[in-house]
């Protein structure tokens, strides 16, 4: 894992000291709320519906057990004993007191964490494939480049006041688990015909009120040019992005207005001025950062552990969990383990301090001390020996993280919604709870197969509803909560935006509607089709007819 150097430590502590002074001046009245607001936002502190909310960065979704224990400590000491893992691979605390936030930030700094770049019109905390450094299908570890982008962007004076927030996601694998096509910049590590590794560059993707799938503006960018090329994109955006209208300020609007090819040409022109200039990584820097992400010392193990196979044969519940919650590891004899933060009827993404502490202990005992956070709001133990899987599963069952539902209908993404968020129009979490309770039966869930339900409480789309196989968007109709349903969204390498099925439904009809959609899929399913495959084959109409015939 990346370890702070002297500069990082000094920089983060300096920012904490600055914020402590700013909070003190706010409490004394020296700073007004208008003066203070941009300062607190630069430190990840929002004022939400019920209280302040602190959004802590988890760079590229990677945590050590020590850092997880600190997150538990913060929940226990300063908040209501829980935290919420988000679709940006961050954690949010919903109840911190303003007076305590400098102490929280100092505690975070002690474990090399912070809340920088989690708010404001800057380059936000870079996200990545949660299986980075472990996945069997990975070309290279994307976290190396996420860290390089972080170091380049954190104090970049040119990009600290962009027209709007700016999100970058990186995947090192062809199977896109980082939703890169719906980011301002999406980077996919690819090989060219010569076998060299570089980046395919997508730009202008995003969700919100104007959802767009990113356009590929470069099929192959040699790795050494990443920073100069990113700087060229950001420079074009910074110059031409609209600052007069918040709803048209994202780079996706600019790319749509000028056209992807024209935008690509502008970037190319700008890049010619920057290429091979001072922004490129100095000799040795890539190697220095790569060294932090050197693979841990894996034991030489057989590809398949006989005890793991036997345990699956004798224990159907373990077999079901292994089928849905494990992913292939690149090292023989190891597995990637997904911990579901979506228990039946639970709050997607929430974890108590006791659960966080337990995960930290399990990471130390079973996963070389490493933990990951996914944008789908689950936790991951990335390096588990197959021979330990049954024991680990038993312990996860005891702590409530062994629901065998990863990628299934109850593994729902849900934004905080109107229960917490001052922007929301409707609640998201109770809808997720209703659906996961409705489909609680494990055999039924596994029979339905992969089905991604994503729920947002407003058009800002933090719950990624645009790219849900079933997307649910809360809207306000004369003070009442209603929900629009979209179908066919996809956040992966075959990214698509969902299509609206029809008029919005009231709060108490949403779970019924999802059941109708699932029944329609099962009626039309052929062979081993997933929900998305069937939808793509038969189209929207059969679903629409069934939904509005019964509701």
Partner 1 sequence: MPKHVVTANRLIDGAVVYLTDCGGWSERIQDAIVADGKEADAALTAAADRAVADCIVVAPYLIDVDTAADSSVLRALRYRERIRSDGPSIHPEFAKNLKG
CB of 82 to partner 1, least distance (A): 9
Largest CA distance in the chain: 68
Query: Which of 28, 297, 303, 526 contacts partner 1 by CB under 8 A?
Result: 28
- Binders in 216-255 for partner 1, by CB under 8 A: none
CB of 416 to partner 1, least distance (A): 9
Verify binding: residue 278, partner 1, rule CB under 8 A: no
Q: Which is nearer to partner 1, 52 or 548 (CB)?
A: 52
Measured at the alpha carbon of residue 147, what is the angle toward residues 217 and 325, in degrees to the nearest 5? 85
- Binders in 178-207 for partner 1, by CB under 8 A: none
Query: Which of 29, 157, 282, 527 contacts partner 1 by CB under 8 A?
Result: 29
- Binders in 460-499 for partner 1, by CB under 8 A: 479-481
Residue 188's contacts (CB-CB under 8 Å, 6 or more residues apart) are 170, 171, 174, 176, 180, 199, 200, 202, 493
Query: Which of 367, 433, 486, 516 contacts partner 1 by CB under 8 A?
Result: 433
CB of 95 to partner 1, least distance (A): 8
Query: Which of 420, 482, 483, 543 contacts partner 1 by CB under 8 A?
Result: 420
**Residue 527, token pair as written in the block:** 């062979």
Q: Which is nearer to partner 1, 347 or 413 (CB)?
A: 347
Verify binding: residue 349, partner 1, rule CB under 8 A: no
CA dist 197 and 328 (Å) reads: 22
Residue 171's contacts (CB-CB under 8 Å, 6 or more residues apart) are 128, 129, 142, 177, 178, 180, 186, 187, 188, 189
Phi, psi of 104 (to 5 degrees): -60, -45
- Binders in 54-93 for partner 1, by CB under 8 A: 80
Q: Which is nearer to partner 1, 97 or 219 (CB)?
A: 97
Q: Which is nearer to partner 1, 346 or 489 (CB)?
A: 346
Strand locations in 310-458, DSSP E? 326-328, 334-339, 350-352, 370-373, 379-385, 413-414, 453-456
CA dist 327 and 339 (Å) reads: 12
Q: Which is nearer to partner 1, 4 or 95 (CB)?
A: 95
Closest CA to 511 of 460, 425, 440: 440
CA dist 475 and 142 (Å) reads: 37
Q: Which is nearer to partner 1, 49 or 190 (CB)?
A: 49
Phi, psi of 243 (to 5 degrees): -105, 0
- Binders in 85-144 for partner 1, by CB under 8 A: 95-99
Verify binding: residue 418, partner 1, rule CB under 8 A: yes
Closest CA to 22 of 11, 31, 9, 10: 31
Q: Which is nearer to partner 1, 27 or 304 (CB)?
A: 27
Query: Which of 184, 388, 411, 419 contacts partner 1 by CB under 8 A?
Result: 419
Residues lying near partner 1 in the complex (CB under 8 A): 26-29, 33, 47-52, 80, 95-99, 347, 418-420, 427, 429-430, 433, 479-481
């Amino acid at each position: 894992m990346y370890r702070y150097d002297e500069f990082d430590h000094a920089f983060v502590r300096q920012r904490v000291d600055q914020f402590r002074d700013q909070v003190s001046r706010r409490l004394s009245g020296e700073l007004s709320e208008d003066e203070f607001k941009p300062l607190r936002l630069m430190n990840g502190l929002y004022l939400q519906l019920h209280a302040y909310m602190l959004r802590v960065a988890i760079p590229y979704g990677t945590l050590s057990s020590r850092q997880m224990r600190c997150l538990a400590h913060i929940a226990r000491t300063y908040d209501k004993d829980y935290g919420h893992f988000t679709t940006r691979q961050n954690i949010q605390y919903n109840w911190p007191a303003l007076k305590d936030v400098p102490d929280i930030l100092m505690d975070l700094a002690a474990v090399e964490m912070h809340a920088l770049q989690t708010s404001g019109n800057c380059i936000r905390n870079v996200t990545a494939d949660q299986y980075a450094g472990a996945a069997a299908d990975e070309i290279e570890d994307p976290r190396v480049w996420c860290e390089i982008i972080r170091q380049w962007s954190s104090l970049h004076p040119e990009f600290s006041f962009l027209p709007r927030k700016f999100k970058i996601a990186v995947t090192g694998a062809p199977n896109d688990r980082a939703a890169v096509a719906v980011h301002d910049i999406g980077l996919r590590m690819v090989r060219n015909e010569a076998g060299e590794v570089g980046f395919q560059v997508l730009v202008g993707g995003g969700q919100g009120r104007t959802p767009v799938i990113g356009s590929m503006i470069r099929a192959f960018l040699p790795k050494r040019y990443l920073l100069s090329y990113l700087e060229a994109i950001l420079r074009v955006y910074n110059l031409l992005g609209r600052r007069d209208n918040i709803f048209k300020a994202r780079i996706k609007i600019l790319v749509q207005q000028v056209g992807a090819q024209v935008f690509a040409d502008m970037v190319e022109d700008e890049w010619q001025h920057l290429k091979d200039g001072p922004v490129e990584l100095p000799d040795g820097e890539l190697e220095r950062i790569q060294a932090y992400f050197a693979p841990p010392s894996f034991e030489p193990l057989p590809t398949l552990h006989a005890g793991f196979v036997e345990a699956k044969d004798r224990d159907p519940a373990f077999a079901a969990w292994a089928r849905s919650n494990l992913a292939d590891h690149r090292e023989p004899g190891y597995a990637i383990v997904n911990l579901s933060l979506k228990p039946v009827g639970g709050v997607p993404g929430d974890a108590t301090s006791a659960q966080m502490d337990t995960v930290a202990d399990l990471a130390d005992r079973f996963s070389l001390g490493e933990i990951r956070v996914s944008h789908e709001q689950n936790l991951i133990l990335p390096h588990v020996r197959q021979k330990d899987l049954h024991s680990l599963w038993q312990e996860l069952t005891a702590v409530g993280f062994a629901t065998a539902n990863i990628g299934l209908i109850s593994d729902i993404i849900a934004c905080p919604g109107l229960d917490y968020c001052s922007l929301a129009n409707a609640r998201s979490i109770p809808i997720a709870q209703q659906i996961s309770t409705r489909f609680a039966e494990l055999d039924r869930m596994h029979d339905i197969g992969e089905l991604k339900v994503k729920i947002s409480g407003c058009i800002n789309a933090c719950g990624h509803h645009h790219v849900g196989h079933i997307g649910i968007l809360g809207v306000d109709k004369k003070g009442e909560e209603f929900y629009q349903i979209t179908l066919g969204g996809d956040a992966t390498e075959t990214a698509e935006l969902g299509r609206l099925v029809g008029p919005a439904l009231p709060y108490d009809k949403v779970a019924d509607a999802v059941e109708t959609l699932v029944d329609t899929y099962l009626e039309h399913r052929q062979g081993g089709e997933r929900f998305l495959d069937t939808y793509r084959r038969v189209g929207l109409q059969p679903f629409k007819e069934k939904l509005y015939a019964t509701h």
